Structure 1
Amino acid sequence: MLVFCMGTVASMAWLVLREIDELSTANSDNLQWSLAQADVEFLKFELAVNEALRNPENLREVRRRFDIFYSRMQTLQRGEVFQALRSEPEFEQSRQGIENFLSTSVSQIDGTDQALVDALPAMASAAKQAAADVRQISLSGLAAFAKLSDQRREEVVQSLVRVSIVLAVLLGGLSLLAYSFNRLYRSAEQNALAAQRASTRSRTVVEAAADAIIVCDDDGHVVEMNAASQNLFGYSRDETFGCPALELFQPPSVRGAVLDRLIKATEDTENPEAHQRQVETIAVDRAGREFPVEISMAKAEAAGERVFVAHIRDISNRKAAEKGLTEARDRALAGEKAKAEFLALMSHEMRTPLNGLLGTMDLLRDHKLTERQTDLLDHMQSSGHLLLGLVNDVLDLSKFEAGKQRAETRPFNITRLLDGVVETTMSLAAASGNSVAWSWQGEPDAQVLGDSRRLRQVLLNLVSNAIKFTRAGTIDIEVERLPGQEDLVEFRVIDTGIGIAPENLARIFKDFETLDSSYARRAGGTGLGLGISKRFVGLMGGEIGVESEPGEGSMFWLRVPLPVEEQGSSDTTNTAKKTPDADGVARPLSILLVEDNEINRFVARAMIEAEGHTVTEAVNGKAGVEWAQAQEFDVILMDISMPVMDGQEAARAIRAGNGASANSPIVAVTAHALPEEIAGFKAAGMKHCISKPIDRKALLGLLNEVAIRTEHPEPGPTAQEALLLDTNILNELRDTLGATQTARLIGKCINELDTSIQELTETATDDRALGSTAHKCAGSCSSFGMVAMRRALGRIETQAANGSVKRQDLQALASVWEDSKLALQVWEATGEPVSRLTRPA
C-alpha cells in the first residue's frame, strides 16, 4: 500500500515537473524569440530587397535574408513547439499567406541574378503585402502563446492541486497508517510484555512446582526440566539435556511397561480426565535409589514439533500412609472382630451367672416362703431382670453396629402386644405411684404384619423411661392407624412427668446420654434405651420423635408401617405351645443336659425335674456325644460354648453318627442370638434354640411341645417304605438362610454326594476308609433332612465298624441316592415333599 501511494505521488510529481519544464523560461523565450525573430528577419529581407533595387550588387544579401526567413517559417510550420499555435485560425491564416509569398518568391530567389533583379520590384511590392501577415503571425502567435501559457499554467496549478490532494490523502493515510502501526506496535509491545510475564509466571510456576516436570522431544530425549526434577533425581539440566528420559529415570525392569502405559495414556482421547492418564510406577535417582512415583503425561504439537511433558510425583509418603491406613484398617477390623467376640463372650459369661441367679430365684418360688421372703425375692428378681436388660441393651447395640439386625415381618395382634407391655411394666409403675394404661384411638385393628418383638422392646423402653421420670402420675399409651397409603400406625406414650428442656430434646436419642435431673440421677441407667429404640424404629421403616415441656410431661411418638393381615394368623409373639392339662397329655421325657457350668446344670435340672422329667448331665460336648450314642433321649439340651467340644460340633457329631439319639431333637441353649449364629445352629442339626438366662415357662413349653410330638411319631421305615425327606429341616433351613442361599447349599451338597456315593458303591467291602466316608456323607444327608439316605449310610457305617459290609447294601446306595436327590430337587422347585420310596430302602 505504501509503495503504491509513493509510486502514485512520484508519477504525478513527474508529470507536474514535465509540465513545468515545458513552461520553463527557456522554451517560452525560444518561442517568443522565434516569432519576433521571424518578424525581424522579414524586415531585414525587405531592407535587403530595397537595397538591391538601388544597388543590384546586393542580390546575395537578398537571397541570404530570404533563406533565413524561409528557415524561420519552416520552423514555425514544422516545429513541435509551434504545433499548438498552428491550431489557431488567425495564426494559420497568416502563415498560409506568408507560405504563398515564399512559394512565389522561391523560384525568383533561386533563379539568375538578372531574373532576380527583374523581379525585385514585384518582390518588394509582394513583401510589403506579406509584411502584414508576418506582423499578424507574430502578434497572433504571441497572443496564442500567451493563451496557451495560461492554459498550461492552469493545468500545472490543477496538477499541483491534485498532487496536493493526493499528498493530503496520502498524508492522512500515512497518518492513519502510522496511528495503526503505533497501535499495533503498542499492542504487540503489550502482548510481548504479557507473553513475557506469562512466560515468567509459567517458568516460576514450573520452577516452584513441588512435582518434577520433565519435557522430552518426540524421541524421548530430555530438553527441559525444572528445579524439582533436579532435586528429585539428582541430575543437573546440562547432564540430562539430550539424554533418553527412560534410561535416566526408570529402572530397566519397568521401562518397557512404563513406556507402553504412557503411550496409551497420551493417546487415550476418550478419557481426557487427568487422573485417568496417571501411571504409577518405580523411578530411580542418580544414586540408584528406587522409589514409587506417579507420572502424568501430556503431549503438545506446535509448528510441526511435538513434545511430551511429564509430571512426576514422589508418592513414597502416600504409599507409606496407605500402608499405614491399611494396617490401621486391619487393626480396626481385628479390633471390631475382637470386640464382637468379646461381646459374645461377655454376653455368654454374664448371662451364665444371671441364668443361675434368676433360675434359682424362680426355683425358690416352688418352696413355701414367708411374705417378707417373697418381697425380698421380688426385689432380687427385679434387680436381676434390670441387669439382664442392661446386658441386652449392650448386646443389641453391638448387633446393630455390626449390621446384623434385620426386621421381621410376621402376623401379630396389637391388643395382645400392648396388654403384655402394660402387664410387664405395671409393677414397676406402681412402685413409683404411677398408673399405666393403653387405648385405641379410632377403629382397632385385629391382626397386623410387622416385627412384634422389636416393637414390643421399643414400647417397653419408652414406658420404662416414662416411669423413671414420673412420680404419682399417669403413663398412657395411645394407638391410632393414620389415614393414607403407607399403612402407618402411630403409638404415643404420654406421661405427666418432669418433662424435658428444649435444649435436651436433641440429646435424648443419643447413646449413653442421661439428663442431669434429680429423677435421672435417682433412676440411673446406661442411656442406651432411647438410642436403641431409634435404631429399631428405623430398622422397621418408621420414625420416632418427642414433644415435651418442662414440668408438663412428655409425649414420645413412633410411626411404623403395620399393614393389616388379611387372612389372620395366630399371634407369633407367643411361640410356646400351650401347657397340657393337669391330667397330662405329655408324657415324662428323658432329657440329656449338656452344660459345662455347674450352677446352670443345677438350675436347669431343678426346673426340668419339677415337671416330672428325667435328666442326664454331660459336662462338655464330647461327653454329650458319648451319651447320645449310647442311650436314646427324647430331647437334648445343648449348650454352645463349652470346652473340649463346643455345642455345634457335638450336634454335628450326633447327627452324623448312628447312635441311639441320632434323630432326637437338639435344643441350642445359648446367650448368642445373632441371626447367622442361629442359622449355624440349625445347619448343625439343632432344630430349636432357647436363650440364656433360661425362662422357665419357655423351657417347659418347649419340652411339652416335644412331648406332644413324640406321642404321635412319624411312621418309621419299613421293608417296603421309608421316609425320604424331613421337610421340616429343609423348611427351617430355608426360613433361616433364605431361598437363594439354601438352593446354593443344596446344589453344592448334591455335587459332593454324587461323587462320594459313586465312590462308595465301587469301594471294596474291606476298605478301611469305608466307614469314615459313609460317616461324612451321613452328616451331609442329616443336615438336609435326607432321612432314608442317612439311615442307609448309617447301616454301612455300622457294618464297617463290625467288619461285615455287604456288597448289596453298598450297591443299594445308588438307588436310594437317586430317589433322595429327586425328592430334594422336587422340594427345591415346588416346595412339595416326596415322602416315600418306590423301592426297598
Structure 2
Amino acid sequence: MVVDAALPDGSELPGRLRLAGTDAGAGGPLKVLLLGGIGGSPHAARRDADAVLARPLRQSVFLRLAAAVVSGRASAPPEAATEPSLMPAPVEADCRLRILVAEDNPVNQQVAQRILERLGHHVDVAANGLEAVEAVCALPYDLVFMDMQMPELDGLAATRRIRALETAVAAIPIVAMTANALPSDRERCLEAGMNDYVSKPINAMRLAEVIARVAALPAPAPAPAPQADAEQPAPPSPPAAEAGDAILLDHATLEELEQQLPAELVRDLLATCLSEADGFATTIAAAAAIGDLDQVEYAAHSLKGSASNFGLRALAGVAHRLQAAAAAGPADVIPHLAAELHRTLQRSRTAVEDRLRSA
C-alpha cells in the first residue's frame, strides 16, 4: 500500500496499517510505502513504513523500490537513512538574526523560541497577526516565522499587511508555520507573499535550512555528536506492546524533541500541553453546545498543533477531525467527537505518566 504523508492523517496511517494489517493472507504482512511530504516526513511515519519515496516521484524509482519491498530486499527507509542531524551547530556570531515568531499557542511559542535560540538567534514572540505587524514596524527584524491560523488577524492576512507597507519592512522574509501539510497550503502561503513554508511539528534542522535559504546564511552544519560511553549499553526502546500506547504517544517524536531541547524542559512543556488540552476540550464542548463552530475550529486547530509537537498522536488525530468537521461539516458529529476527545485526553495523560515514570 502507498500512503501519502501529505494527507491530514498521513503521518499516522503507516502505524495504523501495521496494527490492522499484520497479516495479508498468503502474501504475508502488509507492505507500506510512504510518499514523503513537503519538507520531509515525520520520524514515526518513516519508522512504520517499509520504504520512503521522495518527491518528485519518478516511475522508475517507484517500480524498483516497490519490487524491493515486496521481495523483502528493502531494508531501512531511504529517507530515514539520510535524515540530517536533529540539532545543528549554532550559527557564528556575525550570522545571528533577530527573529520574530508569530504564534498564538503558548506551548508552541516556547518550543519554537527555545529551538531558535539554541540555533544562536535572538527571538521575540507575537501572539497574533496584529501584534506581528506592530512588532515588525517597531523593531528591525531579519525574519518572521508566521503561524497561519491565529486570532485577531491570521498569518496570511498579517503577511499581506506587511507586504503593503510603504517602507523597507515590506520586504522582510516571512516563513509560514502550520500544522497542515498539503501542497495547497504552500500555494496559499506563497500567494499571500510568504517566502517559504515549514510544517509542524517543527524540527531544528529544517528550521536552520529554511533560515539559510531565506536569509542567505551559510548552510547549517550538524552539531558534533555526543561521545557515547562505551561501557554503557544504549537504552532500550519502549516496548511495542503497548500497541494502544504507541498510538496514544509516539515515543520517537518525544525523543527527537528531547535531542533538540533539554529533557527537563520538554517534560515541563509536555505537562503544560496536557493542562492546556483540558482547557481546549472544555472550550470545544461549550462551543459545540451553542453551535459556535468558529470557536470549535480554532480550539481544535491549536490543540492539534501542540499535541503533534509532543507525539500525542491520537489526541492530535481527534483534534484534526474536530477541526475538519467544524470547518466543512458534518456538524452533527462534533458532540460525539468532543466526547471522544475527552476520553482520548485521559488515556493520553495516562500514557505520558507511564512514560515519565519509566524514564
TM-score bucket (shorter structure): 0.3 to 0.5
Higher normalized helix content (fraction of residues): 1
Give the TM-score normalised by structure 2. Answer: 0.41
Greater relative contact order (CA < 8 Å, ≥ 6 in sequence): 2
Asked which structure has the greater CA Rg, the reply is 1
